[in-house]
Structures are given as C-alpha cells and as structure tokens.
Structure 1
Amino acid sequence: MGKYTRGILGAFSGKVGTVVGSSWKGIDYMRSLPRPSSKAPSDLQMIQRAKFGLVTGFFRPVSALINLGYQSLAHGKSGYNVATSDFIADAITGTYPDFEIDYTKVLFSKGTLTGAYGVAAVSETGTVKVSWADNTDSGTAKATDKMVILVYNASKGQFVYNLTSGAQRSSGEDTLAMPSEFLGDTVQVWIAFMTPDKKTFSTSIHAGQIVVA
C-alpha cells in the first residue's frame, strides 16, 4: 500500500479503476485491489476468522469506550484494534468451532493509571453496586479519578456503562442503574479508573459475575 501527500490528481476516496484511495488520521493512502483467490481457506485461517468474528461481534457495541480505554496504546492503529488483538490472544477458550469468551480475561481498557484494590460487586434494587478500597496517592492514583463500570448481559447481548457520571476514586463506591428487563439475569461486571479528562485509564479488571436483583 502506498502513502502519498497529494496524489496524482489530489487525494481521493473509494475505488478508481484498479486502486482504492482512503484516509486515516489525516494520512492519505492508495492501495491496489486485492486479487480474488480460488484457494480454500486453511484450517488456521478458519480458526482466526472464527475468533475475529467472535471478538468483533462482542466488542462492536462498546467500540467507542474501548477506543478511549486503549488510546494510550494506539500507535499507528486504533485502540479498538489493539484491544481486539489482546482479546484474541487471551480471552478466548475452547477449540474450533466451539469457541467461548473467558469474561475474566476481557479488557476494555489498558493504561498506566493505578487500578482499583479490594473490589466487590453486588446488585441492589435494580442496580449494580461496586465498592473498592480508596487507594488515593498510591502510584499514579488521584482522589479525583473517575470510576467506569461496564456491565454485559449475555442473555440479552447488551452492554450498559457509565462514562460521564462515575464516582471519584476517593468515594470508595459507585452504582449503575440496570434496565428493568435485566432483572433476574446474570451479568458480567468490569471496572476501571480514568482521569477526569478521559486521557489516561487504568487496566480494567473483571469485578465479578452477579445476578441483577
């Protein structure tokens, strides 16, 4: 794939003849159209495609959050792509074609901010409540860091998370309201801290599997 600053007749987007023009992060690219292959995919290719499909199907609804959570590692690629690579490497179990997600290994953020200690998750009156030990001033932790809670309902295939209303690290607890249709369902809970400007995150942790009460 070639990179160009002006192009032959200026930058363009889309297919023109046998080439495709596109732009990413302000950089213009031009690549040739791929040649169709008559070869059947190898076993390894089938396995990788199945894993990729599992990850993208799971992550797509929260791609905006993941791009933020992985932004510190997004050098020349999107945070979502980095997170996808981590997911494929660490959070898929089973053998092809019966792959499953190991929720305890899923990450929605990865960064240098000090994480949470002593985390517990419970459900109270239609909410998910998370508590943690106040570790302000430990490492890079600040009292004003904001809690981010991510909840996934596998039976509904739905996520709920907070990004603007999270409690401060110093408060030691936070709650996230669940949709009424989640009542009685088992959900997965992850948490992370972020700085108020949303530029630095801690590495997320799986806070538990609970039933919404």
Structure 2
Amino acid sequence: MGKIENGINGGFTGTVGAVTGYYLNGKWVIRSKRRKSIKNKIGSADQKACRSRFTMMQTFLSPIVDFVRIGFNMESKKRMMTAHNAAKSYNMLNAQNAAGEIDYEALRLTFGNISGATDVKLEQDDMGVHFSWSDNSNGDYNRKHDQVMLLIYDLENKTAIYETGGARRSKERESLEIPSFYKGKAFHTWIAFISDDRTEISMSTYCGTFIFL
C-alpha cells in the first residue's frame, strides 16, 4: 500500500502494484519492484547445504528449547541474541559437519565455565535411568550446592525427558523416570551443573547412549 505525501501533486511512499516510491536526496523517486531471481529462489549448492544444516539443527533443538534457554542463558546475554539462537549458532559451528550430521559428543546443551560432571555412570531399571557422578566441588561451598541438569533424547521420536534443577552436586546421584511406552527406545544422554542462584553453569557433558529395556 502506498501513501501520498503533500497532496495530489506530491510524491508517494510505499508500494503500489509493481512500483515502489520513496524520497531520496530531496527528490521523489519511483522504481519498479525488485524481484528475486530464479537462481536465488532455488538457491546455490552452498545455500541449499546451509539451509539443510540449519533445518537439521533446528529440528534437533525444537523439543528441548526450554532446556537450552536455561543452558545458554548466560552466553546469550554476552552474544546479545536469544538463548535458542546462541545454542543453534554454537552447535552448527562446532557439532555439525558439512552434510549436516550432528556429532552428539561435541554437542553442547549448556554453556558456561564452572566445573562439569566427572566419573559419570548410568544405570537403569523399570522406573527409568539413574545418573551418578563424583563430587568434584573440592570444598567449595557454592560448587557443592550446584544443581544437576539431566537430559535424555529419543532421536527416533524427537522427544526428550529432562531435569533442570535436580540433586545437589554433593549428592552424587539423580534419576529420570521414563514412561513404559519408551521400552526398546534408544536415548542419547547429557549432564550439566547450574549454580543455586542460576547465574553460573557448566558445559554439558555427553554421557553416551542406552536402550531402555
């Protein structure tokens, strides 16, 4: 829609049909509306590859947006972007190859600089999966009271189960309950720690895969 400026004898701004009007350097100017070339619509090989990689990472992150919003909250403020976009940007650069395949060991679902998890072990039973780790707080009161963040991801169904404020680091154990309809499904797993006041966080640690039996 166009808008007439200064009455019927003036120029106009906006778009009318295939013509766009605007004011430039003291003069009213009109030009034909630009059209995207067929090449740009289709995209070059590099553009197609980039779009494919973007879509694959977007699809992976979609079920865990709430988790990465917490996990990349501090980093997103430094980068002045949303936490979701910060997570997507980092992982596209560091955990995805040219074909778009994701390296799950290199993937980061949380981003920070406090101590991560060490000596992580997984056990499972009919109720779910149980994570254990070593208390590596080394006498630091704040680190001792960090809360664990856990996530397990079913790639086949693009669903996840997670905890963003679990047991304290000093407790060395936390569990995720898994509904029975997940029997036979394979899960990728991650663990991280977040400070009690939610202002510090560790890098997430990949803990491998398991099949819920």
- Which TM-score applies when normalising by structure 2? 0.76
The answer for unaligned runs of 5 or more in structure 2 is 1-12, 16-32
For the 8 Å contact 2:142–2:195, the answer to whether it is kept is no
Q: CA deviation at 1:69?
A: 0.8
Q: Give CA deviations for 1:4-63 in whole Å, capped at 9, x if unaligned.
A: xxxxxxxxxxxx957xxxxxxxxxxxxxxx965213311111111000000111101211
Cα deviation for residue 197 of structure 1 reads 2.5
Give the letter for the 2:132 counterpart: S
Alignment of 1:111-126 (within 5 A): 111-126=112-127
How many Å separate the matches in 2 of 1:130 and 1:106? 19
Q: Aligned-pair distance for 1:139? A: 7.4
- Deviation per residue, 1:155-185 (Å, 9 max, x gap): 2210110123x11100111110012211121
Alignment-derived partner of residue 68 in structure 2? 66
Letter matched to residue 53 of structure 1: T
Distance 1:125 1:141, change over 3 A: farther
- Is contact 1:114-1:138 (8 Å) kept? no
- What corresponds to 1:78 in structure 2? 82
Q: Which residue of 1 aligns with 2:26?
A: none
Identity among equivalent positions (%) equals 27
- Contact 1:91-1:106 within 8 A present in 2 as well: yes
Measured on the aligned residues, the alpha-carbon RMSD in Å equals: 2.3
State the number of aligned residues.
179
Q: Does the 8 A contact of 1:148 with 1:161 survive in 2? A: yes
| Matching of residue 129 in structure 1 with residue 130 in structure 2 | yes
User: 1: distance between equivalents of 2:192 and 2:140?
Assistant: 15
More helix by share: 2
Secondary structure (helix, strand or coil) at the match of 2:144 reads: coil
Alpha-carbon distance in structure 2 between the residues aligned to 1:37 and 1:205: 44
Which has the larger Rg?
Answer: 2
Give the direction of change, closer, same or farther, for the CA distance of 1:100–1:126 in structure 2 (3 Å limit).
Answer: farther
Could you tell me which residue of structure 2 aligns to residue 92 of structure 1?
96
The answer for the alignment partner of 1:200 in structure 2 is 200
Letter in 2 for 1:195: S
2:18 counterpart residue number = none
1:183 aligned residue? 183
Q: Are the equivalent residues in 1 in contact too, given 2:112–2:203 (CA < 8 A)?
A: yes
Query: Structure 1: 5+ residue runs without aligned partners?
Result: 1-15, 19-33
CA drift at 1:111: 0.4
Q: Distance in 2 between matches of 1:91 and 1:197?
A: 29
